[in-house]
Amino acid sequence: MSKENADAVARHLAMAGLLIEDDPALAHRHALEASHRAGRIAVVRETVAITSYAVGDYALALRELRTYRRISGKDDQIALQVDSERGVGRPDRALEIGRSVDRAALPTSARVELAIAMSGARLDLGETERALLELDIPELDPDRAFEWSPALFAARAAVLEELGRSDEAEQWHRRAAVAADALDDASGFEAGETVWVDDVEEEDVESEADEDDPQS
């Protein structure tokens, strides 16, 4: 690749990263342009996959993710592949793909994302109890906040709601909010540093339930 082409690809990838949250469609166009210029580079195919998922083109995301895995030899985007299989209506296939990787070999954040995606696939199949079990992982620690904690806590809350366990669901929703606030407050901490958070008081939920009960 010429220096001129490499610089253009880098600019498109940078723009895709900057725009993915606010304008995923434009981010996707930048990713596609990078792919046209450098389709054999793993990070380019990864970026196309991520932006395809963001705009709801799950079939393209799957194709790009397969190519990314083949080029890079990495499984770090396996959760996105599981979710993309869900997006095209194949939760059984999603579970099969999720089970095909060695979770212990994944980075912690990827392992948590996979647990959330696998839980979602179980919900798609109506396997609500098993969806909850998918989230019973060591990283489910309400006393510490990591980058993955708010999403993991919120996923558990959503499954508990499906099970009709509304009090527990509310506690985990609160824990998700507390973790997110703690991470925001600690945004200047060193990467990987543990952030301790105050636990959600059980009596808060109980007292609110009492107030709502006309017989109490």
**pLDDT for the residue 182:** 87
Q: Is 140 helix (H, G, I), strand (E, B) or coil?
A: coil
| pLDDT at residue number 186 | 65
Per-residue pLDDT tens over the stretch 118-149:
999 999 999 999 999 999 999 999 888 899 99
- Domain hosting residue 93, numbered range: 75-134
Q: Could you report how far apart the first and last alpha carbons of the chain are, in Å?
A: 73
Tell me which of 72, 91, 108 is where a domain ends. 72
- Between helix 58-72 and helix 42-54 the angle, nearest 10°, is 160
- Mean pLDDT of the residues in the chain: 88
| Lowest model confidence (mean pLDDT) among 6-20, 122-136, 185-199 | 185-199
Same domain, 85 and 66: no
Q: Check whether residue 95 and residue 125 sit in a common domain.
A: yes
- Domain finish residue from 91, 110, 134: 134
81, 67: one domain? no
Same domain for 65 and 80?
no
- What CATH number is attached to the domain comprising 6? 1.25.40
| 195-209 per-position pLDDT tens digit | 444 444 443 434 333
Residue 165 has pLDDT above 60, yes or no: yes
Q: How many domains does the chain have?
A: 3
Percentage of the chain lying above the pLDDT 90 cut: 79
Among the three residues 134, 153, 175, which one is the final residue of a domain in this structure?
134
In the predicted structure, residue 64 carries a pLDDT above the cut 70: yes
Give the mean model confidence (pLDDT) for residues 107-112.
Answer: 96
- pLDDT at residue number 107: 94
Residues 148 and 213 in one domain: yes
Is residue 193 predicted with pLDDT exceeding 60?
Answer: no
Task: In whole angstroms, give the CA distance from residue 144 to residue 207.
Answer: 25
- Report which residue type is found at 84: S
- pLDDT score at 191: 41
State the pLDDT at residue 188: 52
Assess whether pLDDT exceeds 70 at residue 93: yes
Q: Are residue 102 and residue 39 in the same domain, yes or no?
A: no
Closest among 75, 22, 76, 86 to 53, alpha carbons compared: 86
User: Residues 53, 7, 57, CA angle at the centre, nearest 5°?
Assistant: 10
